[in-house]
Structure 1
């Protein structure tokens, strides 16, 4: 084959080779319980956006925004560059005196989002109110964000959440479950791939306990505090045991507008 023809043939193969890159989803943490999940199709799902100054008031975009409960450090969709569809796991009456679970189960462009009713405390909501765990199904994976869970799960709650690949769990205690309790919740749900601790104290925002009590409960811990991203190949085989990943948090720049 003449060299120019061979070169053209090689160039023609490059886009096809690029298209064969393994599909992946990316989970980004912005402090407290604020995450952005980017699917392989570039759909953006945001959990519990906040405006806590210590974390730099991150501004990111969302196609779907999920709020676990109506507390200020979890329910600030206005900080997002683009909000997309906003779903509340717990709604508040017009007079602000009553709350109730929204019981969401919807699909948005192929991504399923649903709630499981839980509480923010061990007193069936009498102390800190109701909370919703979010279960998101995307790219064949199941992500569970427990919001401000304040208790171990009942068998019915664990069954309602179902199989989980990636679990985001609060570990800082005081207002939520602590590290020891969080380990028990992990054992209840048995996530297949990753456990990502959230809602714990960090330098500059240390009202909560740090993550060490929780991390000490596990043998396999990956500390990646130099990044706020966890990239998860969609088709990778699930390991024998999940990895606990300690992410760093990042002060995001103002979110660019989508083209």
Structure 2
């Protein structure tokens, strides 16, 4: 943020099928969508961050985080449990992180999410929504910027798809050779852009 406040979403434990290096960044806040160690591991994070979990409004010093109840599968959580979608505003930009969402959302849920400028959405399937479901959901949420996540890379030993099925045939796709991007309110695109980031670690 402009105030140099840092948020980390769904930090992983570097072990097993995850070959990325540990997350040793300093953070002020950490959001956790669900209690699996590839999304809730805070032991390596520095800075004594405030941990945000669960549905409802979490009003903190710098931000208000809105947690929206959802599920990690399409069986109302019977397979993989609950998932929390987090919405928050940073520097007048509305951000929505869908976590490990495993199903399409009702119109009521989409209205609860509200206006989204930047959407972080899983696209790899198997444990989450797949490329086709993610495409449908993006149309319904209608963000300015889409950042796909939870897809297969050489450092992930999970049976999920890569990012290609999601971006295939779509317009305004930017595949960056960088793991960082700076977005300001003034720079938000008129037409929706998909930005594929390079894994950082």
Report the TM-score, using the length of structure 2 for normalisation. 0.93
Q: Distance in 1 between matches of 2:58 and 2:130?
A: 31
Give the Å deviation of 1:107.
2.8
Structure 1: distance between partners of 2:189 and 2:155: 35
1:217 is displaced (CA, Å) by 4.8
Secondary structure of residue in 2 paired with 1:184: helix
- Equivalent of residue 209 in structure 1, options 161, 179, 184: 161
Give 1:156's aligned residue.
108
Structure 1 unpaired stretches of 5+: 1-38, 90-102, 252-259
SS of equivalent to 2:24: coil
Corresponding residue for 1:51?
13
The RMSD of aligned alpha carbons is 1.3
Q: Equivalents in 1 of 2:126, 2:45: separation in Å? A: 28
Q: Deviations over 1:8-36 (max 9, x none)?
A: xxxxxxxxxxxxxxxxxxxxxxxxxxxxx
Q: What is aligned with 1:254?
A: none
Q: How does 1:47-196 map to 2 (within 5 A)?
A: 47-53=9-15, 54-89=19-54, 103-192=55-144, 194-196=145-147
| In 1: Cα distance, 2:179 partner to 2:48 partner | 21
Structure 2: runs of 5 or more not aligned: none
Displaced runs of 4 or more, over 3 A: none
SS at match of 2:182: strand
Which of 1 and 2 has greater Rg?
A: 1
The number of residues matched between the two structures is 197
TM-score, structure 1 as length reference: 0.73
**Aligned CA distance change for structure 1 residues 180 and 244 (closer, same or farther; 3 Å):** same
TM superposition shift of 1:118: 0.6
Q: Which has the higher contact order (CA 8 A, sep 6+)?
A: 1
How far the C-alpha of 1:46 sits from its partner, in A, is: 1.0
Structure with the larger helix share: 1
